[in-house]
Protein backbone atom coordinates (compact mmCIF):
# COMPACT_ATOMS: atom_id res chain seq x y z
CA UNK A 1 0.00 0.00 0.00
CA UNK A 2 1.24 3.49 -0.86
CA UNK A 3 1.96 6.03 1.84
CA UNK A 4 -0.46 8.91 2.14
CA UNK A 5 0.98 11.45 -0.28
CA UNK A 6 0.40 14.30 2.17
CA UNK A 7 2.89 12.66 4.54
CA UNK A 8 5.72 12.43 1.99
CA UNK A 9 8.45 15.07 2.23
CA UNK A 10 9.02 17.43 -0.68
CA UNK A 11 12.40 16.01 -1.69
CA UNK A 12 10.94 12.51 -1.99
CA UNK A 13 7.95 13.85 -3.93
CA UNK A 14 10.25 15.64 -6.37
CA UNK A 15 12.41 12.54 -6.84
CA UNK A 16 9.30 10.47 -7.57
CA UNK A 17 7.92 13.20 -9.85
CA UNK A 18 11.11 13.22 -11.94
CA UNK A 19 11.22 9.41 -12.12
CA UNK A 20 7.59 9.18 -13.23
CA UNK A 21 7.95 11.97 -15.82
CA UNK A 22 10.96 10.29 -17.39
CA UNK A 23 9.26 6.88 -17.35
CA UNK A 24 6.09 8.29 -18.92
CA UNK A 25 8.09 10.15 -21.57
CA UNK A 26 9.93 6.96 -22.48
CA UNK A 27 6.62 5.09 -22.66
CA UNK A 28 5.13 7.74 -24.95
CA UNK A 29 8.17 7.85 -27.19
CA UNK A 30 8.27 4.06 -27.57
CA UNK A 31 4.49 3.84 -28.05
CA UNK A 32 4.04 1.50 -25.10
CA UNK A 33 0.64 0.38 -23.90
CA UNK A 34 -1.63 3.33 -23.20
CA UNK A 35 -2.71 2.14 -19.76
CA UNK A 36 0.83 2.42 -18.36
CA UNK A 37 1.09 5.96 -19.74
CA UNK A 38 -2.24 6.85 -18.11
CA UNK A 39 -1.26 5.29 -14.78
CA UNK A 40 1.99 7.26 -14.74
CA UNK A 41 0.15 10.42 -15.73
CA UNK A 42 -2.32 10.05 -12.88
CA UNK A 43 0.51 9.67 -10.38
CA UNK A 44 2.38 12.68 -11.83
CA UNK A 45 -0.83 14.71 -11.51
CA UNK A 46 -1.30 13.58 -7.88
CA UNK A 47 2.23 14.63 -6.96
CA UNK A 48 1.97 18.00 -8.73
CA UNK A 49 -1.35 18.64 -6.98
CA UNK A 50 0.16 17.78 -3.60
CA UNK A 51 3.18 20.01 -4.23
CA UNK A 52 0.87 22.93 -5.10
CA UNK A 53 -0.84 22.49 -1.71
CA UNK A 54 2.42 22.93 0.18
CA UNK A 55 3.94 26.16 1.44
CA UNK A 56 5.55 28.56 -1.03
CA UNK A 57 9.06 27.46 -0.09
CA UNK A 58 8.14 23.85 -0.80
CA UNK A 59 6.44 24.74 -4.11
CA UNK A 60 9.73 26.20 -5.33
CA UNK A 61 11.00 22.64 -5.79
CA UNK A 62 8.52 22.10 -8.61
CA UNK A 63 9.53 25.40 -10.23
CA UNK A 64 13.22 24.40 -10.11
CA UNK A 65 12.36 21.44 -12.33
CA UNK A 66 11.70 23.89 -15.18
CA UNK A 67 15.49 23.73 -15.67
CA UNK A 68 15.73 19.90 -15.58
CA UNK A 69 17.66 18.35 -18.51
CA UNK A 70 14.78 15.99 -19.40
CA UNK A 71 12.11 17.60 -21.58
CA UNK A 72 9.29 15.50 -20.10
CA UNK A 73 10.21 16.61 -16.58
CA UNK A 74 10.21 20.24 -17.74
CA UNK A 75 6.84 19.75 -19.46
CA UNK A 76 5.15 18.28 -16.39
CA UNK A 77 6.82 20.81 -14.07
CA UNK A 78 5.57 23.68 -16.25
CA UNK A 79 2.12 22.14 -16.42
CA UNK A 80 2.13 21.71 -12.64
CA UNK A 81 3.31 25.21 -11.75
CA UNK A 82 1.58 27.31 -14.42
CA UNK A 83 -0.51 28.94 -11.67
CA UNK A 84 2.50 29.43 -9.35
CA UNK A 85 4.92 30.89 -11.88
CA UNK A 86 2.87 31.59 -15.01
CA UNK A 87 5.51 33.54 -16.93
CA UNK A 88 8.31 31.02 -16.40
CA UNK A 89 6.06 28.00 -16.90
CA UNK A 90 4.51 29.39 -20.07
CA UNK A 91 7.93 30.34 -21.44
CA UNK A 92 9.15 26.76 -20.93
CA UNK A 93 6.02 25.30 -22.49
CA UNK A 94 6.49 27.56 -25.51
CA UNK A 95 10.15 26.50 -25.80
CA UNK A 96 9.10 22.86 -25.75
CA UNK A 97 6.30 23.45 -28.28
CA UNK A 98 8.71 25.25 -30.61
CA UNK A 99 11.47 22.64 -30.21
CA UNK A 100 10.14 20.21 -32.80
CA UNK A 101 11.07 17.41 -30.37
CA UNK A 102 7.96 15.27 -30.72
CA UNK A 103 5.95 13.99 -28.95
CA UNK A 104 6.74 16.40 -26.08
CA UNK A 105 6.47 19.39 -28.44
CA UNK A 106 2.95 18.30 -29.36
CA UNK A 107 1.94 17.91 -25.73
CA UNK A 108 3.30 21.36 -24.85
CA UNK A 109 1.58 22.93 -27.85
CA UNK A 110 -1.73 21.29 -26.97
CA UNK A 111 -1.45 22.43 -23.34
CA UNK A 112 -0.79 26.00 -24.46
CA UNK A 113 -3.67 25.88 -26.90
CA UNK A 114 -6.05 24.75 -24.15
CA UNK A 115 -4.58 27.16 -21.61
CA UNK A 116 -4.75 30.16 -23.93
CA UNK A 117 -8.23 29.18 -25.07
CA UNK A 118 -9.73 29.55 -21.64
CA UNK A 119 -9.48 25.97 -20.41
CA UNK A 120 -10.59 25.72 -16.80
CA UNK A 121 -8.70 22.71 -15.47
CA UNK A 122 -5.81 22.34 -13.03
CA UNK A 123 -3.56 25.31 -13.37
CA UNK A 124 -6.47 27.67 -14.05
CA UNK A 125 -8.23 29.63 -11.36
Quote the DSSP letter at residue 4: P
Q: Which residue has the higher pLDDT, 36 or 118?
A: 36
Average pLDDT for 43-60: 86
99 pLDDT higher than 90: yes
Average pLDDT, the chain: 88
- Residue 72: the pLDDT is 97
Q: What is the CATH number of domain 5-116?
A: 1.25.40.70
Rounded CA separation 59/55 (Å): 6
Q: How far is CA 17 from the centre of its chain?
A: 8
Rounded CA separation 70/41 (Å): 16
- Residue 84: the pLDDT is 86
Amino acid sequence: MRRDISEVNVDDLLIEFVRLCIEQGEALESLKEGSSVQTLGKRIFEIATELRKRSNTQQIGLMRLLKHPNSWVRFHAAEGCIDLAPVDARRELQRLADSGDYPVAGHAGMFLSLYDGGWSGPGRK
